[in-house]
Every structure is written in structure tokens, then in C-alpha cells.
Structure 1
Amino acid sequence: MKKIIILLISMFGFCHFLNAQGYKNPVISGFHPDPSVCRVGDDYYLVTSSFEYFPGVPVFHSKDLINWTKIGHCLTRASQLKLDKCAPSAGIYAPTIRYHEGRFYMVTTNVSGGGNFYVHTDNPAGEWSEPVFVDQGGIDPSLYFEGDKSYFVSNQNGITICEIDIKTGKKLTKGQTVWNGTGGRYPEAPHIYKKDGWYYLLISEGGTEYGHKITISRSRNIYGPYESNPANPILTHINEIAQSNPIQGTGHGDFIQAHDGSWWIVFLGFRPQSLLHHVLGRETFLAPVRWDADAWPVINGNGTVNIDMNTPTLPLQTVKPHDFSTGFDETKLGVDWNYLRNPFMRQYSLAEKKGSLRLKATSVSLDDNDSPTFVGRRQEHIDFSAAAVMSLNNAKAEDEAGMTIFYSSQAHYDLSLKKTEKGKNRLVLRYKIGVLNHIASELEIPADKIYLKVEGNKDFYSFYYSLDGKEFKFLDKINVWYLSSETNGGFTGVYVGLYASSQNKDTKAFADFDSFTYKPGKME
């Protein structure tokens, strides 16, 4: 009996330890903004914005709200997501995910065409339906279900609500403006929750910059009038107590009640790194919410959050370690990879050379707001190293392929192998910064196969090459801030990409990439 008691005490202590470990923010790093979350039993599903990248709206799964695994995308077909020649930071804005009567719904806005729409599925890791459009303007739409009624919420001339037919998207009532926020600019990101007989309306204000904040109001009737929380904003880092916090721009949140009854909020923020510039984009953060009966919610005690969160959590679940690298042995690219706008799939092949990704050059370049031959994955860490092994084949003068550190068509750093008019191979490191095109390094390479590498830290990207994969030679380094949102505007983050392009419209050139590695952490 004594042994049993000791065992039970030990088990209780272990469970308590699991529930009090704390965690680190962000819970999803890199360019993953505008998070929205829903729960089914003890499973959690989260989506984020994707803008001009395809496929659109990544979907994540978790058992503990802290450890997330990307399981797919909501928008995987051109019929769902038209991005033809869309501008940088256009395309898909601010999705919301909800679960109702056995079905998942993801509602969002394509600002480049079509407006507000939703898709649905029974399996969030699988294929989603064709779009159902809703004729109500604004952005950042949300769905709220109550009984047999479905409500559509957006930020058209203030926060606007209407009832819709969830099967067709048809409006059943006229849109009614219910709240304009507390006076901050750009009231947006509305979500409605019902608790203790109150309808709570959560929004963001101040713009998705340093002045971002989350505010909340409530009403006994879904159509208002809504009473503003006297303690607004309930989350912001614009105040003096957070002026030196490594997380800034906090806002655009979504509440979730966990299966143990606790409340949490997911929200976006960014981490400035070099002279207060951020290049990773806006990331997904998590904070606990104290929400007493008939009371206003309080986020993390004082409306601010930290990198190291010393707070009780759900029991932490182990997840399979993420493999950031690939030998391109798969039959299709994994969920980490994206294309720019709607891809022309004939330009890509994993079958023509086993164990390689073949990229076929076209005359569309990385400088164009179009669909170049490009695949990339998000830079998810301030300190990282990425490398690729490639060969350039069937090439003529002005054909090129290589790696790119890509923010937008107006801001990217490219390390490429390029053919000259004499048929020689030339390694070129180019910086594209607005109207400035600068060749930082150029040298002749006596081989068609080359190893390319880039290392990033809080201040610089450094570029290297090797002919044997063992000895890497340094080429040049450049400041990260030229690829930041502060320098270029926009809402995305940096990608590490592979590409092939040409100045010849009839090019037959292609590049074979034999491997790609991405390693987080500081380099020695």
C-alpha cells in the first residue's frame, strides 16, 4: 500500500510539473500572422494569413496550444485562390477558423479579387471546398454560430454584422454596424464570443505596427449596443512597461477555451532585431487569459507578454521533431514550401531526375509581380543557416538559377549560377533594394555543380559557396534591414527560396537541386 501511495504522489507531482512548465513565445515562429484558432475535443486547429503565396492559409494542429504541427493548407487549388499578378502583400488577408456541427469553416478575404469568402471541410488536413462568397465588404471576416443561425462579421465602416445562409453565403439581414472601437485607427479583426449571457466583441486597433492593440466590448444583444471595456486595451506593447520588450506590435487575437476550462489567446506580434527592424514577419504568440464569471477578460495579468512565459499550461505533448531539410526524394513538396502566386506546375518536377527538384527557367524574374519559377520556405529563426546543392543545365547566356533571400519583388538578395555569352559559369551575388540593383560579387566557376550557402543573424546575411561541399568560401555580407517591413512596407516576412530564370523568352535551361538544408541556431 505504501508503494502505491508513493507511486500516486509521484504521478500527481509529474502531472503538476507538466502543467507548470511554462513555454517560450512565439509558439509559431516566422511569417505566420493573424492567427485564428478553434477546438474540437482536445484537438486544436489554427490558421494564419498567406498573402501572395500559394498554397494559401496554412493549417496547424496541436494538443497543447504550444507545440504546433503544420498539416496542410486550406487553399490548394487555383479555383479557390486566384493570385494572378497580385501586388506584394496583397492576396489573402486574415483568416478565421471555426467548427460547427461537424464541419470546419475558414473565412477570409482575397483583396486581389473576389472579396470575402469561406471554404469548409470535414478534414482540416485534407482538401477544402470551393469558395462560398459573401456580398459584404471590408476585410478580416469572422463567423459566429448560435443555434441554427450563422453570423458574418467584418470591418466594413466599423465592425459590421449580418446573418447569412451558411449553405449559400446569401445575406439574410442587412449588415449593421455595431462598434467602431475606442478611437484607434483601423478597427479590424473582429471575433464574437458568448459567455455568461454576454456577447463579447474582440477587435484590434492602431494598425499592425508598433501601436497595435486589442480592445473588447460586450452587449446582451448580438446587434448591440456594445459597451467598451473601461480597461481597454486589454493587450498592447505600446505602453512604457513594454517599450523594451523584445516582442512588439501585439494585436489581432482570437480567444480559445481549452478542454480543461482554461482560457487562452493567440495573437500576432513581431520581434525587432537590427535597429528595430523586423524581417521574420509577424509571428504567432500565445498568452493565458483570466476570465472570471460576468467579468472582463484579463490577458497575462497586465496586458503584456514575454518570450519566456512562466505560467501553468496544458499538459505538454511531445511532437515529432520538425525536419527542416530535404533530399527531394518525395513525390511532392512538403507543406513548408510555397510558390509565388499561382504556379505553372510544368516548371517544376520531382520526377524527371530522381532525388532532385528540377526548376525550369522562364523569362519571369523575381523582380516581377508574376509567377517566376520559385519555391521557398519561411525564414523562421533570427539565427539560421541554409544551403543547397545545384547544377545549371542546358543553359545559354543570361540563364541563371540559385538561392534567394526574398522579401518581395522589390527586395531580395540572390546568389546564382549564371551562363555568360562565352558559355562560362559565373557565380553572381546580387542585391535588389527598390530601384537599386547592385552586383556585390561576381566570379567565374569551373563547374556546372555548386554548393550555395547563406547564414543569417540579427544584423547580417552572409553568403558562401563551395565546389566540393566541404570548404566554403565567403563572398559578402549585407544588412538584414533592407529586407525588413520597416524599409519596404508590407505584411509578409522573408523566405529562403530556390529559383531559375532567364532573359531569353525561348530558354530551355533548367536547374537540378539535389538537396536543401535549413538549420536554426547561431553558426560557429
Structure 2
Amino acid sequence: MSAGTYRNPILYADYSDPDAIRVGADYYMVASSFTYLPGVPLLHSRDLVHWEIINYCVPALPFEKYDRPAHGSGTWAPSIRYHKGEFFVFIPLPDEGIFVARSKDPRGTFQLNRLCESRGWIDPCPFWDEDGKAYMVFAYARSRCGIKHRLALAEIDPECTGLRGEPRVIFDGTQLAPTSEGPKMYKRNGWYYILMPSGGVATGWQSALRAKDIQGPYEYKIVMHQGNTAVNGPHQGAWVDTPEGTDWFIHFQDVGELGRIVHLQPMCFQEDWPFIGCERNGDMIGEPVEEWELPVKEALVCRIADSDEFENGRPGLQWQWQANPKETYFAQKRGPKVLRLACLANGERENLLWYAPNVMTQIPQSAAFTAEVKLALAGDEDDGRTAAGDGDMAVLGMTGHHYAFGGLEREKDKVWLRLYEGFVTGKEFEGEAMEGLVFSKEWKEKSPLWLRMELSENKKFSFSASEDGENFCPVGPAFHLEKGTWTGAKLCLWACNRRNEPSGGWGEYDYIHISHKTER
């Protein structure tokens, strides 16, 4: 990479359906998070290339359904806007309606209200016009309402608390743009613009609509496609400008097992149409760039944290649960500089990772990495539960439709190093899964385990173990990575009782250290 340039992707991480804005010299970006909570991560940058997580817009979802995993449901593609000194994040729950999270402080608490109850309305974006009226453009989810190729516009009250009238369809892409979704509305030089992805996530393209009247009629044009590049389906994103007046477009690329990674493209206008990327083959449609000049002259480097020392006995901002967060996920006996996760039972269902709400996950930040934890099993009778017992387990693993995890498990007054493999057959909501033991070896009672998990660029991951943190030996087979439901595979920590019985035990994690084999 040359001095003064950046390379795509800017984030090799599953921040799917990104939307971004500029406020002064600061950039803010939100992304989907589905069943993983707290939801809708809020990222910050000063140069559009380097990002850090600063908050979540949805601490928890106000429905009992999300106290359990709801794979494929939850918070879908959000949008973020800044209006009259306040941040507004429009968030679709495809089964419950459109919600609005708002805060005057991006690092503060966001308040959540339901704009409207609906099923199958997705990808909403607000727009405040010069005449004081406010609108919301949105798409439809075929999985919920049988429609996937229309955009609709609804007038809303300017405070974003309800609709003002019924929505009307402003674009039907049945022939031109099947699977029209992710609309983002803007205005420039008297033109209303809607930027939207078309044609589907894996093989689609980026489209634009424009009209002189917000109600239409809208003209249609393809403004970026894969062309001769390796960036499939350049898809769904945000137009952002700089204080100097240059224009940029943030979007994602679906890379399968690790989800939807984030790219940044140069953008300009040609005869009042947006042009995204770089023209390469004479068709006058932009193609994604691999390398380009930095949006600002001097890069302002920050990184998304992934390693964690658990300094205050709690996980960092990079972690999300597989359902609504609860204090019961932690052992009642806290300790500084150590994370204690309660070895919980799972109520009515088998205690499988796919079903468990208390799985603690984070988004991998590169295509190949090594994660190392130091963990132990512990427990006593002073926390109101029964003592630590048979079935208690503390693990490190990877989620997905084919998943695996390893760690220490207590059985018959002995402790074992074990690996389990899981297969998901029902991929929506709690779904259906099965797990099997693939490796078992007795471990010394009360001895910690240093466990490494290595993910290679060939999309396979494997485990190795150590008794001293220095000498590691491979354990078990290699596992093939698979994505989850609408997400990439995620790194996870989990403590549970495999016998699905109440326990006073916990898994104790001193740290997780993550090193990357590819450039971040």
C-alpha cells in the first residue's frame, strides 16, 4: 500500500448493512446485529477508514421473545441520521415493527420507541425536508410478507413517534431491480436521491433513484457493479461527504463464512447522477476500487478492540450476547481482572450452544487469527445456588451453522478437556441443532487450561491446549467454518451446565488474546 492511500476492505469484519453520517469532523456508522445484543453497534471514525466501537443503540429488546436466541430475527438493517442536535437511528424488527433509537450523546444512552407496528417492513431511512415535513422510505422482506422488489414512502411526524397516513409504493423493481432493499434517501441540487442495493446480497449491484418530487416519479440507474473485480455484489451502504466537499460511499461485500465486510469507495456526480468506484471497462458503471487516496490527508488510526483483559470483571464493548443481556449470565461472586460466567442450565431445551441465550460472542476482525484464553472451572456454595457440579463447562469456540467449541467439563468428580461439534438443521429463531462429543481427555482437578483456537484462511479452525501457557499440543480434528443465520460465524465464550441442572459453578477467564495473521 502506498503512502497516503488505503486498501479495501477497510474492515474485514461482519458489520453488515452499514449506514454512516458525518457530524462536523466525526463519522458515525451503524450496522445490523439480528439476535445479538446489545444490538446495533455504533462505530466512530475521524477519517472514514479506521473505526472503533463506542456504543450500542439498543441495550436490549422489549419483547420476551428475545430473552431466547431468535436467529434471523431481531435488529435488521438500520439507518442513522443527525437532526436538530440529536442522533436518530431507525431500526427494523421484521416481526414487530419499526423502532427509533435516539440520543443527543452518541456515547450516552439511547431511548427506544416504536414508530409503527408492522410485519415485513425493513431497512427504514428517515428524511426531513426543507418544508418541515418528515418521511420514511423502506423496503419489504419476502420472508415475512412475500414482497422483495418494492420501495415505499410514508410521511411520519417530525419527532419520529408515528406515521401520518398510509405508505405508498414509489418504486417497483420487478423487472429492473429484483430484490430492491436497503434504501437511503438524500437531497442534492433539487434532486431527491435514493441509493439502494439491487439483485441480492451475493451477486447484486448498487442502484440509484432520483426525482424532482419526493413522491416521484423516480428515474433508475445502476451506479456500481462488480464488473471485472473480485468484489461480488457491492451492496447496501451510505453516501458520506467530508468537510472539504469530497464524496464517499461505504458498502459491504458478502464473503460467506465470515459475513459481510466493509468497503469504502470514492464517489462523484456526473450529470446529477452519483458515480461510485472507478470506471474500468467502458460501460460507464463504477467498479469497486482496491486502493485509493485517503479521504483525509493524515490517517487517524484507531482499531476495533478484540483482545480483552477483563479488567473490571466484565466484557468489553466488542462482546454481544446471543439474546437479551442479563446479570444472571455472570457468577454472583465477582473478581477484578477475571471474567466469571455462570454455568447456567437452559430451562426447557437441551443445553446446546445454538439454543443458549448466555453465549458471549464477538465479530472476528480478520480472515485468519489465533485466539487464546486461560480458563478454569470454579464454584462454591455461597452464591445461593447449589455447589459446582457435574456438567459444568467453560468453553471457547466459533458459532455458525456448523460450529465447535472446546474447554473444561466436570463429570463424576473429574475434570475433562473436551471438544464438541454442532450442526444446525433449523436455522430460524431458536431452530434445531444437534451436538456431539469429538474429543475427551482427563485434566488435572483445579488446574487451569490454556486453550488456543486457530482460524486459517482456508476457513478451517482447530484447537490446541497447554498446561503451562507455553507448550501447546493439538487436540481434536479441524472444523470447517460456516456462517450463521444472516451473520458471519462469531468467536464465542460460554459457560453452561451440560446436564441442564442448576449449578453454583462458573467458568473463569483470565483473558482472551487475539493475534491476526492477515492485515487489519
Superposition TM-score tier, normalisation by shorter sequence: 0.7 to 0.9
- Contact 2:306 / 2:365 at 8 angstroms: preserved in 1? no
- Contact 2:92 / 2:122 at 8 angstroms: preserved in 1? yes
Residue 299, structure 1, aligned to residue 288, structure 2:
no
* Corresponding residue number in structure 2 for 1:235: 224
SS of alignment partner, residue 20 of structure 2: strand
SS of alignment partner, residue 328 of structure 2: helix
Taking the TM superposition and a 5 Å limit, the aligned residue runs for 1:10-89 are 21-79=4-62, 83-89=66-72
SS of alignment partner, residue 142 of structure 1: strand
* Corresponding residue number in structure 2 for 1:417: 408
Q: 1:473 to 1:456 in 2, by over 3 A?
A: same
SS of alignment partner, residue 77 of structure 2: strand
* Corresponding residue number in structure 2 for 1:429: 419
Shift of 1:454: 0.5
- 2:355 and 2:437 mapped to 1: Cα distance? 23
Q: 1:321 to 1:163 in 2, by over 3 A?
A: closer
- 2:366 and 2:374 mapped to 1: Cα distance? 22
- Contact 1:385 / 1:519 at 8 angstroms: preserved in 2? yes
- 2:468 and 2:477 mapped to 1: Cα distance? 22
Q: 1:294 to 1:354 in 2, by over 3 A?
A: closer
Amino acid across the alignment from 1:236: H
- Contact 1:466 / 1:473 at 8 angstroms: preserved in 2? yes
- 1:321 and 1:159 mapped to 2: Cα distance? 36
Residue 476, structure 1, aligned to residue 471, structure 2:
no
* Corresponding residue number in structure 2 for 1:216: 208
SS of alignment partner, residue 279 of structure 1: helix
Amino acid across the alignment from 1:173: G
* Corresponding residue number in structure 2 for 1:346: 328
- 2:169 and 2:352 mapped to 1: Cα distance? 41
SS of alignment partner, residue 118 of structure 1: strand
* Corresponding residue number in structure 1 for 2:489: 494
Q: 1:321 to 1:285 in 2, by over 3 A?
A: closer
Shift of 1:522: 5.9
Q: Deviations over 1:412-453 (max 9, x none)?
A: 2110211122x1111111111235634332111123311111
- 1:386 and 1:25 mapped to 2: Cα distance? 24
Shift of 1:218: 1.1
- Contact 1:192 / 1:201 at 8 angstroms: preserved in 2? yes
- 2:69 and 2:172 mapped to 1: Cα distance? 30
Amino acid across the alignment from 2:138: S
Q: 1:321 to 1:289 in 2, by over 3 A?
A: closer
Deviates more, 1:55-64 or 1:20-29: 20-29
Shift of 1:168: 5.0
Amino acid across the alignment from 1:416: G
Residue 142, structure 1, aligned to residue 132, structure 2:
no
SS of alignment partner, residue 91 of structure 1: coil
SS of alignment partner, residue 297 of structure 1: strand
SS of alignment partner, residue 159 of structure 2: coil
- 2:271 and 2:245 mapped to 1: Cα distance? 12
Identity of aligned residues (%): 25
Q: 1:165 to 1:369 in 2, by over 3 A?
A: farther
Q: Which runs of 5+ in 2 are unaligned?
A: 141-146, 280-284, 380-387, 425-432
SS of alignment partner, residue 373 of structure 1: coil
Q: 1:370 to 1:315 in 2, by over 3 A?
A: same
SS of alignment partner, residue 53 of structure 1: coil
- Contact 2:32 / 2:40 at 8 angstroms: preserved in 1? yes
Shift of 1:343: 2.5
Taking the TM superposition and a 5 Å limit, the aligned residue runs for 1:396-475 are 396-407=389-400, 410-421=401-412, 423-434=413-424, 437-448=435-446, 449-459=448-458, 460-475=460-475
- 2:469 and 2:248 mapped to 1: Cα distance? 46
* Corresponding residue number in structure 2 for 1:317: 299
- 1:381 and 1:374 mapped to 2: Cα distance? 21
Q: Deviations over 1:22-71 (max 9, x none)?
A: 21222222111000011111211110001110100001111111111111
Shift of 1:335: 1.0
* Corresponding residue number in structure 1 for 2:357: 372
Shift of 1:493: 1.4
* Corresponding residue number in structure 1 for 2:167: 175
Residue 286, structure 1, aligned to residue 279, structure 2:
no
* Corresponding residue number in structure 1 for 2:248: 264
Would you identify which runs of 4 or more consecutive aligned residues in structure 1 move more than 4 Å? 320-323, 368-371
Residue 201, structure 1, aligned to residue 194, structure 2:
yes
- 2:249 and 2:117 mapped to 1: Cα distance? 29
Shift of 1:369: 5.7
- Contact 1:87 / 1:369 at 8 angstroms: preserved in 2? no
* Corresponding residue number in structure 2 for 1:185: 178
Normalised to the residue count of structure 1, the TM-score between the two structures is: 0.86
C-alpha RMSD of matched pairs (Å): 2.4
Q: Deviations over 1:274-319 (max 9, x none)?
A: xxxx32111121101121453443433342224x313352223323
- 2:363 and 2:338 mapped to 1: Cα distance? 21
Shift of 1:79: 3.8
- 1:522 and 1:56 mapped to 2: Cα distance? 27
* Corresponding residue number in structure 1 for 2:429: none
Q: Which runs of 5+ in 1 are unaligned?
A: 1-16, 272-277
Q: 1:300 to 1:349 in 2, by over 3 A?
A: farther
* Corresponding residue number in structure 1 for 2:512: 516
Q: 1:404 to 1:366 in 2, by over 3 A?
A: farther
**Equivalent pairs, count:** 481
Please point out which of 94, 107, 110 is paired with 2:93: 110
Please point out which of 96, 117, 122 is paired with 2:79: 96
Normalised to the residue count of structure 2, the TM-score between the two structures is: 0.87
Residue 253, structure 1, aligned to residue 237, structure 2:
yes
- 2:55 and 2:97 mapped to 1: Cα distance? 23
